[in-house]
Structure 1
Amino acid sequence: MNFVSPWLIPAQLLVITTAQDVGRFVHRGGVYNITFDVNEEGETTIGSSAWAPAEPGSGSPHLLPPRWLWASSGPYSLERIGDNIYHVDFGRSARTCYGNIAWQLKEAGVAKADEPLAGIQDGDLATLHYTTGDSFTTNFRNEEIEFVRVAHSLTPGVFEYAEPEAPHLKLRYQVRSDGVVGISAECDGVTTPRLLFKLAPRDQGMQYTYYAVEPLGLGTLSHIRSKMKSACPNKNWKDSDLSQVVFATDKTMYVAVGRSSLALIKTN
């Protein structure tokens, strides 16, 4: 089945049902990477890494492997300051974060040794503008750079979504380590039986691996969708709904319904 993933819909058209998308988002700058790890508590840890030449004086540089440099700082609180815009509260630790990255950029030869903070400016990496459900942009060294989601691996467990407002849509995905998943749904008192499917890894049309929900011959997603369309018509159900799973962390997975990306939380 070919369709446009809801995670690629522009952020202003996509309803995000959690206060903040969780997971890992990475900017790849050639010899260096910067990573935002956003957790379920509304915090982010910022990591940075770079490849740098061998230490001077340690032998012939071209014969020695490059050094792998890594550092992290945080966690820092995230505050929503507008539609699809979040602020990173560095407190008094911004210089620590900037200093880690600046040292790596200089060691990797990306910045000049005498360049203050490797060109990093006050306010860099502090304002995140979400452009899709999977990416955001921020300022860094007088440029706008993009961070893109890196999905978590398949995680066994029971993941559930429960809507507090009527008609109280509920979803339950019971994921096994072999990729078999039992899916059931409930809305406005209407329930579906738990049907078994297979989670198959895919990356076509995406910048990371997601999982397609494929039948095991014991029922179809259309059966679940048809019952939910009648019970929850306000969700604007589509033929592709429930058919893609993205593991964001070891505690959260995302499933698309209508124009929304629903966060299912691990309960067991």
Structure 2
Amino acid sequence: MMSFVPTWLMVAQALVLTTTAQKVGTFVYGARTFNFTYKVDEKHQVTFSYDGFPGPWWWNPDDSSPTTGLLSHYSSGPQPLAQVGPSTYTIDFKDSELGARAFHNDVEYSLSNHGVIERDDPDDSIQPSDLITLKYESADSISTNFLGVKILFMRVGQSWSAGKFEYRSPDRPRFKLVYKIRDDGDVKIRPKCGRRGTHRFRFKLSERLGQQWTSKYYVLEEVERRRSHDRLHDLLKYVKHVCPGKSLKADDLEQVVVASSNTIYVQFEGDLLTLTRV
């Protein structure tokens, strides 16, 4: 679905080879007549939903043309995600009243009523792992199988909301990063190593969109002031001063993706830091 990929997403795609951490967010697969959506929350649970739209009554996995007008809807969850391999998870129905078979039956019923599949057609038979086994292809994409076809869900970037978001490293020397987003879209940033910290740098969140709506993210822009204003290169210079052991990249701290109302991701040292609302 998405042909434009910002810098932080390219870094994330490389990182996925060595990390199996679940990434919070909303991930969508869009066909012409329906959407599938996974919402992964901070409790490591996932909610699946299906939305059907008007259109030709067949499914082509290569057709992602946009359409409008909701005809049908189905939702299931949240359910826990259990890791079954590197970057691979399965929806755990163990403590659910629904169960995997009932989930598939409900999905099949919704899709057949909408004309996406034929219930009596062997080629349209939902397999046991369909829509249940999920693999993080990158921090911004999830794949699963559906009717023998591998389909890709892309992250849908959310809009920012005001609040204080914080990251604390688990190891010493302690590294702390705070992004405080104001109601006007300005953000105050303060990195800290141990007891040493920078002053609060002020920038503005500026929305960026790729060629598809799923690629929404934000970059920091300098806020013009009457006398002086904070600059991105000065922020990194001060970080290097208070945290001399950090291996900084030229675009560290600059790009922000809003995964949910409580979680944002920021690129730092070639990694993605998870900042949570406090």
- The corresponding residue for 1:134 is 140
Could you tell me the TM-score, scaled by structure 1's length? 0.85
Give the one of 62, 74, 77 matched to 1:74: 77
Displacement after TM superposition at 1:256 (Å): 0.5
Find out whether 1:250 has 2:261 as its counterpart.
yes
Contact 1:18 1:263 in 2 (8 A): no
How many residues are paired up? 254
Q: Secondary structure at the match of 1:124?
A: coil
User: Structure 1 residues 14 and 167 mapped into 2: Cα distance closer, same or farther (>3 Å)?
Assistant: farther
Shift of 1:102: 1.5
- Secondary structure of the 1:225 match is helix
Query: Match for 2:259: what amino acid?
Result: A
Q: Which amino acid aligns with 1:228?
A: V
Using the TM superposition, give the Cα deviation of residue 130 of structure 1 relative to its aligned residue in structure 2, in angstroms: 1.4
Deviation digits for residues 161-187 of structure 1, max 9, x if unmatched?
111201211111111122111111101
- Cα 1:20–1:241 change in 2 (3 A) is same
Unaligned runs of 5+ in 2: 56-67
Q: Write out per-residue CA displacement over residues 56-93 of structure 1, whole angstroms, 9 at most, x where no aligned residue.
A: xxxxxxxxx97610111111111223322222213352
- Pair 49,161 (structure 1): closer, same or farther in 2 beyond 3 Å: same
Shift of 1:110: 1.8
Indicate yes or no: 2:116 matched with 1:94. Answer: no
Runs of 4+ in 1 over 6 A off after TM superposition: 15-18
Paired position in structure 2 for 1:190: 196
Q: Point out the more displaced range, 200-209 or 8-17.
A: 8-17
Task: Give RMSD over aligned pairs.
Answer: 2.6
The letter for the 2-side match of 1:266 is R
Q: Which residue of 2 aligns with 1:220?
A: 231
> Within 1, Cα distance between the matches of 2:154 and 2:162?
24
- What TM-score does the superposition give when structure 2 sets the normalisation length? 0.82
Distance 2:21 2:125 in 1: 32
AA aligned to 1:44 is V
1:1-268 aligned within 5 A: 4-9=6-11, 11-14=13-16, 19-52=21-54, 68-91=71-94, 93-115=99-121, 118-204=124-210, 207-217=214-224, 218-232=229-243, 235-267=246-278
Contact 2:197 2:242 (8 Å CA) reproduced: no
Matched residue, 2:59: none
TM-superposed CA distance for 1:126, in Å, is 2.1
In structure 2, the residue matched to 1:59 is none
Check whether the contact 1:34–1:49 (CA below 8 A) recurs between aligned residues.
Answer: yes
User: CA offset at residue 117 of structure 1?
Assistant: 10
**Deviation by residue 1:197-251 (Cα, 9 ceiling, x = unmatched):** 1101101377421111101132122222123234445543111011111110110
Give unpaired runs (5+ residues) of structure 1.
Answer: 54-64
Residue 150 of structure 1: CA displacement? 0.6
> What's the counterpart of residue 62 of structure 1?
none
Q: Helix, strand or coil: the match of 1:242? A: coil
How far did 1:146 drift?
0.4
Deviations 1:79-122 (A, max 9, x none): 22332222221335223332332223212322114237942111
Are the counterparts in 1 of residues 16 and 87 from structure 2 also a CA contact under 8 Å?
no
C-alpha distance 236-174 of structure 1, shift in aligned 2 (>3 A):
same
Q: Secondary structure at the match of 1:9?
A: helix
> By how many angstroms is 1:19 displaced?
3.6
Q: How much has 1:12 moved relative to structure 2?
A: 4.8
Please give the alpha-carbon distance, in whole angstroms, between the structure 2 residues aligned to 1:172 and 1:99: 46
Report the identity percentage.
35
